[in-house]
Structure 1
Amino acid sequence: MNKQLINIKDRIEERSKDLRSSYLEKIKFSSGQSKSARDNMGCSNIAHAFASCDKAQQDQGANGGTVIGIVSAYNDMLSAHAPLKDYPDVIKNSSEKRNAIARVAGGVPAMCDGITQGEPGMELSLFSRDVIALSTAVAFSHNVFDAGICLGVCDKIVPGLVIGALSFGHFPIAMLPAGPMPTGISNEEKSANRKKYASGEIDRS
């Protein structure tokens, strides 16, 4: 490995040593608690958690069945999120075939910089990452999950989901993006069209 990279790695390890130890202790404690989290819940709590499930899943959830929490950043404004619209139902159906229960634990806000660039809404762009992290943690805080799946794409949404999910590092959480998308037209063509628009050769139509 490059010597400079090793030095950077060592500095990061040293700087984060105390915080990392504290985090690992928290995760270790949560891991011990979570093994019987639903067993220690009151009947009313369990009833609320699975009230909208069918009878079979209610029994399964109350008696130690595997429960997967889904956190989705889907909305109609982000074109990159379009495939995620149907993912929760696909995950639920797939989980049911494998004797597990998948539940949408919560949704998080997500904004498209492509829409807000140059507009006042862009001022909220970076702040939205913290809101997403908090929303993710709130969703998983129901404390009935054995695993989680986060649905989202983009440079603030995925970090926000990861930051929130790390509060629950004692159980496995998968990050599930929507996959690559085509650019539409090339950058060269975009640039040429902008020049034509600026010179009045073409209009918005």
Structure 2
Amino acid sequence: MPLHPVVAEVTARIVERSRATRADYLRRMDAARDSGAGRAKLSCANWAHAFAGAPVKDKLNAMSGTQPNVGVITAYNDMLSAHQPFERFPQIIRDAVREVNATAQVAGATPAMCDGVTQGRPGMELSLFSRDLIAMSTGVGLTHDAFDAVVALGVCDKIVPGLFMGSLAFGHLPVVFAPAGPMPSGIPNAEKARVRALYAQNQVDRQTLLESEIGSYHSPGTCTFYGTANSNQMMMELGGLHLPSTAFVHPETGLRDALTAAAAKRAVELARTGQGRMADVISEKSVVNMIVALLATGGSTNHAIHLVAMARSAGVLIDWTDMDQLSSVTPLLARVYP
């Protein structure tokens, strides 16, 4: 089917507006690609430092200079329910890539704060700023330049935009995002609202309120509403950075572990074929796809801020007029509790 004329018009306008910045970005990514694979260009001393702490098998594999090395950027901490499962992911990734004769290393970690904890507290004032710190810390990890592909581990509000922006600075590499998945549903929203209302009227005590809240936020995984975190996962999938159908599988299940292992193997496959570099996956068209998907699913309006910065990191210039025009012709496919 042909594109809706408004979608085609907005896309063409973005392409034209971005012509100079996109060309500059792609020139830089081409130069980085042409400098050679990470495994081939580092000196012996560099490699010795990079693998000094690795198991002997990984050292021997790396020193051959013929097999891909995957850099993992993790936003793990065990205070964010959505990020707690990432504690296990690096080992799953290492084991998976060894099966295809490659290596993987945690290249770096990023801060990851939870708006649900800092809401109404002074720490909330750092929340948006943390996105750019996450982008920088992603870049710090990948600056080691010892990697042929990247696996990014993140889910929540500012973390995925930051990982996305930082990874685009190394867009000459294939980048695969591996999410942790949503927590199962807890108590119904109506019940949570009822207890909150009773507490506001001094009809129940704080312990009753706390028990109700714990019944809602109760296990590892993304919070059970369609906020920025779950919108992130939808957009990474629609943008081509997830394996298909990866976003909304619960954590700590056999399927989630299998998808994480498959994501790692896919990163190795892309490194070997020289295809799927992030700079090509994220283009003017994929950015439009992400905006349309966000609109069609009633996703987080926080992305009116994040998407502008995310796209700019790929040399793509968008603004709120583009979003408004796309909104005017995008049907709402699902009315999800926001």
TM-score range, shorter chain: over 0.9
Gaps of 5+ in 2: 208-338
Alignment of 1:92-107 (within 5 A): 92-107=94-109
Alignment gaps of 5+ in structure 1: none
Which 4+ residue blocks in structure 1 deviate beyond 3 angstroms? 37-40
How many Å separate the matches in 2 of 1:128 and 1:150? 17
Match of 1:147 in 2: 149
Distance in structure 2 (CA, Å) of the matches to 1:11 and 1:185: 46
Equivalence for 1:192: 194
**Residue type of the partner of 1:59?**
L
Name 1:62's counterpart in structure 2: 63
Instruction: Using the TM superposition, give the Cα deviation of residue 200 of structure 1 relative to its aligned residue in structure 2, in angstroms.
Output: 1.5
Any idea what SS the aligned residue of 1:34 has?
Answer: coil
Who is 1:43 aligned against?
44
Q: For 2:78 and 2:41, how far apart are their aligned partners in 1? A: 39
What does 1:118-129 align with in structure 2 at a 5 Å threshold? 118-129=120-131
Aligned-partner SS, 1:52: coil
Q: Which residue of 2 aligns with 1:12?
A: 14
Question: What secondary structure, in the 3-state scheme, does the structure 1 residue paired with 2:40 have?
Answer: coil
CA distance in 2, matches of 1:92, 1:184: 33
Q: Aligned partners of 1:62, 1:191: CA distance in 2, in Å?
A: 59
Secondary structure at 1:102 match in 2: strand
TM-score (norm: length of structure 2): 0.58
Answer whether contact 1:71 1:107 (CA < 8 A) is retained. Answer: yes
Query: What aligned pairs does 1:162-181 form with structure 2 within 5 A after superposition?
Result: 162-181=164-183
Q: Which has the higher strand share?
A: 1
Displacement of 1:166 after TM fit? 0.8
- Kept in 1, the 8 Å contact 2:62–2:69? The answer is yes
Contact 1:34 1:143 in 2 (8 A): no
Secondary structure in 2 aligned to 1:104?
Answer: strand
Determine the structure 2 residue equivalent to 1:160.
162
For residue 132 of structure 1, what is the aligned residue in structure 2? 134
- Look up the SS of the partner of 2:86 in the other structure: helix
Which string of whole-angstrom CA distances, capped at 9 and with x for unpartnered residues, describes residues 59-90 of structure 1? 22122221011000010110111221100011
Q: CA deviation at 1:183?
A: 4.1
2:77 paired with 1:72: no
The 2-side partners of 1:55 and 1:182 are apart by 40
Q: State the superposition RMSD in angstroms.
A: 1.3
Q: CA deviation at 1:196?
A: 0.6
Could you report, residue by residue, the CA deviation over 1:126-170 in whole angstroms, capped at 9, with x for unpaired residues?
111101111111111111111110001012111110111111111
- Give the total of aligned pairs: 204
For the residue of structure 1 that corresponds to 2:70, the secondary structure is strand
Question: Relative to 1, partners in 2 of residues 1:91 and 1:38: Cα closer, same or farther, differing over 3 Å?
Answer: closer
Distance 2:149 2:6 in 1: 37
| Alignment correspondent of 2:274 | none
Instruction: Describe the SS at the equivalent of 2:141.
Output: helix
Measured after TM superposition, the shift of residue 20 of structure 1 is: 0.5
| 2: CA distance, partners of 1:165 / 1:132 | 10
Q: Is the 8 A contact 2:39 2:69 kept in 1?
A: no
Partners of 1:48 and 1:177 lie apart in 2 by 30
Report the identity percentage. Answer: 48
Q: In the aligned structure 1, how far is the partner of 2:167 from the partner of 2:112?
A: 16
